[in-house]
Amino acid sequence: MIKELLNKLFGNKKASPAMTQSETISHKENNTMTTYTIFGRGNMGTAIAGVLTKGGATVEHIGSADSDIATINGDVVILAVPYPAVESIIASHKDALAGKTVIDITNPLNFETFDSLVVPVGSSATAEIQAQLPTSRVLKAFNTNFAATLATGKVGDITTTVLVAGDDEDAKNALITDVNAGGLDALDAGSLKRAHELEAVGFLQLTLAGSEKIGWTGGFGLVK
Ligand SMILES: NC(=O)c1ccc[n+]([C@@H]2O[C@H](COP(=O)([O-])OP(=O)(O)OC[C@H]3O[C@@H](n4cnc5c(N)ncnc54)[C@H](OP(=O)(O)O)[C@@H]3O)[C@@H](O)[C@H]2O)c1
């Protein structure tokens, strides 16, 4: 029964809901350090770079000024830009992104109404990106974390947890390992389909902060 439920949640691949600290450390020791290319030097691009470099990864940034012409050197690409900017990045770098892990952190809000997402109902920004990059391993991550909680490593008194969704187990585990190495918790939240729920959580958290019911240094924390 539990196995069936796990298969439903995580697909028929081996489920890996979370890696223990010792598993992540030995995983790290067996791998060379990852190089990340982060599109965006804003709040999130900077905070994510801080976590990953703390864990020993190498990070390069591509800003909006050189976005169309820059060369992507990283093994893993993070789209730390507003959702509308993703389209032009894909248009300029489709070939370079093929086969790579691409991490979508966006909350695709309708900023005119602040009342809905701009992706098709039932879908997600991540699913839309995966459809445009069929050979890439597209993950959703970081969208449920405010930048400040990535920088401090804390939401209130508890350690910040990065939720990761996607269909490629190796890509998810590699990111979880690197986030853990940077001192944060990270959890496999399931398949690419779960990006829809992660975007709903990110949306809700944004509306709470936007209406000043919570602060931008707060937000949802996870207790296991
Ligand atoms: N802030 C948060 O706490 C938070 C939390 C969860 C998720 N997110 C998501 O994270 C993403 C980034 O948010 P943010 O808060 O970091 O925004 P931000 O501080 O405004 O930074 C966005 C960055 O993206 C750059 N950019 C825009 N178009 C680009 C392009 N085509 N190529 C390269 N860089 C480009 C901008 O550069 P220029 O300034 O030169 O235009 C800017 O540096 C958004 O999708 C947001 O929904 C944010």
Atom nearest to 47 CA in ligand 1:
16
- The arithmetic mean of pLDDT across residues 112-133, rounded, is 97
Whether 39 is covered by a domain: the verdict is yes
Query: What would the pLDDT profile of 149-165 be if each residue is shown by its tens digit?
Result: 999 999 999 999 999 99
CA separation, residue 65 to residues 38, 41, 81, 152, 217 (Å): 14, 11, 13, 29, 29
CATH of the domain at 91: 3.40.50.720
- At residue 48, the pLDDT reads 98
Distance in Å, CA 146 to ligand 1 centroid:
12
* Distance, CA of 36 to CA of 34 (rounded, Å): 6
Residue 19 has pLDDT above 90, yes or no: no
Whether 1 is covered by a domain: the verdict is no
| Mean pLDDT, the chain, whole residue set | 89
Query: What would the pLDDT profile of 60-72 be if each residue is shown by its tens digit?
Result: 999 999 999 999 9
What residue type is 142 in one-letter code?
F
Whether 8 is covered by a domain: the verdict is no
Ligand 1 pocket, residue 207 CB under 6 Å: no
Tell me how many domains the chain contains: 1
Whether 9 is covered by a domain: the verdict is no
CB 6 within 8 A of CB 14: no
Please count the helices (runs of H) and the strands (runs of E) in the chain: 8, 9
- At residue 33, the pLDDT reads 85
* Distance, CA of 174 to CA of 137 (rounded, Å): 12
- What is the span of the domain harbouring residue 161? 21-210
Distance in Å, CA 42 to ligand 1 centroid:
5
What residue type is 27 in one-letter code?
H
- At residue 31, the pLDDT reads 52
* Paired tokens of 192: 């690419």
